[in-house]
Amino acid sequence: MTPADAYAELVRRSKELGVLNSCAAVLGWDQQTYMPAKGAGLRGDQMAFLAALSHQKFTDPKVGELLATVEGSDLVKSPEADAAANVREWRRAYDRATKLPEALVSEMARVTTQAQQAWEQAKRTNQFATFRPLLERVVELKRQEADAVLNCGTRSSERGVKAADKPGGPDSPSASIPNSEFRTPHLYDALIEEYEPGTTVADLKALFAGLTAQLVPLIQKFAHLPKKPDRSVLEREYPVDRQKLFAESAAIAIGYDFAAGRLDTTSHPFCSGFGPGDCRITTRYNPRSFSDAFFGVLHETGHALYEQNLPAEHFGTPLGVACSFGVHESQSRLWENQVGRGRPFWDHFFPRLRQAFPAAVGDVSPDAFYAAINDVRPSFIRVEADEATYNLHIALRFELELALLSGDLAVVDLPDAWNTRFTALFGLPVPDDTRGCLQDIHWAFGGIGYFPTYTLGNLYAAQFMAAVKSQLGVESLESDIRRGEFGRLKEWLVKNIHRNGQRYRAAELCRRVTGDSLSPAPFVAHLNEKYTALHAVC
């Protein structure tokens, strides 16, 4: 078989897998939106069937042979070639998938399903103890997963999934896992690599150290102004049907195509891109809160614009897939925060807000509203945090994940470690685990390594926005936005970010687009500028 034939066959298989995986995406969306309660059992069987089929098709040894035929051929000589990017990402995913023993994959699915149920109950009843045994299993399995990826298949599958059963297993992990400081690479590298290929623990540690050092004094300064913004204006009567219309109009204004999507209601908002022509978003409405639904919709629309503008002709192949979780998050944060919490945006939308909600904001000035949506205030819940404190929530989780994975922190000690570090960072005592280490679902579904992509998203968003401003001109761009015109900004993102798919890794994309490596500087500058101006008003 010629390299060209092998590449064509890889593309065919990859596109078929794209279609297969998109079926699971539809079922996943339905599960969150409209599935009746008693349909959960069948849905589990359907998802397991599709996942197993997808795994089986992708880890077919034939895929490895085809990859070997293309690699080293002229097809991939130029790193700019379509084939080079596709082959690079197929190889990464294929190696990862084939290194994971079947038994580990199915055990992970089983344990994380149980862990999510246990987590829900533990969070509701504020009982960490009921979640602890399952979190211990998750951490142990994630260690095994990381070990399998880093040290190749053989050794890890010998240790297999039984390691946790041996005496002194999950409860004394430091006995079998050497301290992280003595290992290169860190086990965590293998986990973050699933979400942010090419990013390492070393990169993240440097980034968080720099960021936190600047954020702590900044928050200290702006969270304790003598005159605080009045947040209560956001907690008046906002009728749900009007919230929906208002949020939809904003989503349309910034470029979401409702003929290729929908907005539904779920308890946990999300965006799901099935493939070309079908990317759906959800939100939740609270009749006594404006921010939840509105900024949620802006956020999910940001994700959706990325999905709706991926190159359809590459659907199913890496060139048709978003670059990384961090870059995906940058698109949601850019529209939610950089644009949606900005003054020019509300110069356009505030008169419309008053028209839609006269009872709630008829007596509120534009300045007071703008101050309310930008109030900096340390709080317990990550998803309710402001732009500045948000990243401290992530820094805390990153630190604890590293310690859990290295074995420096045992799961049983997690609540104490959380509370101690939280108070050190935020200056507040944690009232209970529900508002502490039990607040997020991520660890229950095995998403260790996921959290840092939220902060990466915030930093990329600020750095991309700084690049847009310098390329289009600050005045000109803000004048667009003040008139409710978002076309040039969206087109810039489509051209520079969306259309590239996975042509470049995130770090390279950032350098190409902004001329610089990722840095906390543009983000910190953005906050300083915004809050200083706001302080002058208050």
Residues labelled as active-site residues: 300
Residues whose CB is less than 8 angstroms from the CB of residue 379 and which lie 6 or more positions away in sequence, other chains included: 385, 389, 426, 428
* Bridge partner residues of 164 (DSSP): none
- C-alpha 479/C-alpha 345 separation (Å) is 10
Cβ 267 to its own copies, closest distance in Å?
A: 17
Q: Output the smallest distance, CB 242 to its own copies, in A.
A: 18
Among 254-262, 329-337, 455-463, 487-495, the segment contacting its own copies (CB under 8 A): 254-262
- Could you say whether residue 275 binds its own copies (CB under 8 A)? yes
Report which of 21, 9, 151 is spatially closest to residue 86, judged by C-alpha positions.
Answer: 9
Contact segment (CB under 8 A) with its own copies among 25-33, 112-120, 246-254, 365-373 equals 25-33
Q: Do 98 and 68 contact (CB within 8 A), yes or no?
A: no
Among 95, 248, 257, 485, binds its own copies (CB under 8 A): 257
Give 61's contacts (C-beta < 8 A, 6+ positions apart).
none
Residue 281: strand pairing partners: 263, 271
Is residue 282 part of the contact set for its own copies (CB under 8 A)?
no
Candidate segments 15-23, 126-134, 208-216, 340-348, binder of its own copies by CB under 8 A: 15-23
Binds its own copies (CB under 8 A): choice among 255, 261, 296, 522: 261
Q: At what angle do helices 414-426 and 390-406 cross, to 10 degrees?
A: 150
Q: Of 44 and 72, which has the nearer Cβ to its own copies?
A: 44
Listed residue (235, 232, 293, 241) closest to 267, CA to CA: 293
* Residue 248 in contact with its own copies, rule: CB under 8 A: no
Encoded one letter per residue, x for contact with its own copies by CB under 8 A and - for no contact, window 306-345 reads: ---------x------------------------------
Q: Which residue stretch of 121-129, 147-155, 256-264, 446-454 sits at the interface with its own copies (rule: CB under 8 A)?
A: 256-264
| 308's tokens | 């709706």
Among 4, 8, 9, 26, binds its own copies (CB under 8 A): 26
In 10 A of CB 316, how many CB atoms? 21
8 A C-beta contact, residue 254 and residue 301 = yes
Q: Which of 131, 176, 171 is nearest to 410 (CA)?
A: 171
Bridge partners, residue 272, by sequence:
280
Number of residues that bind its own copies (CB under 8 A): 36
Q: Give the one residue of 162, 224, 231, 262 binding its own copies; rule: CB under 8 A.
A: 262
Interface with its own copies (CB under 8 A): 16, 19-20, 22-23, 26-27, 30, 34-43, 45-46, 49-50, 257-262, 264, 274-278, 280, 315
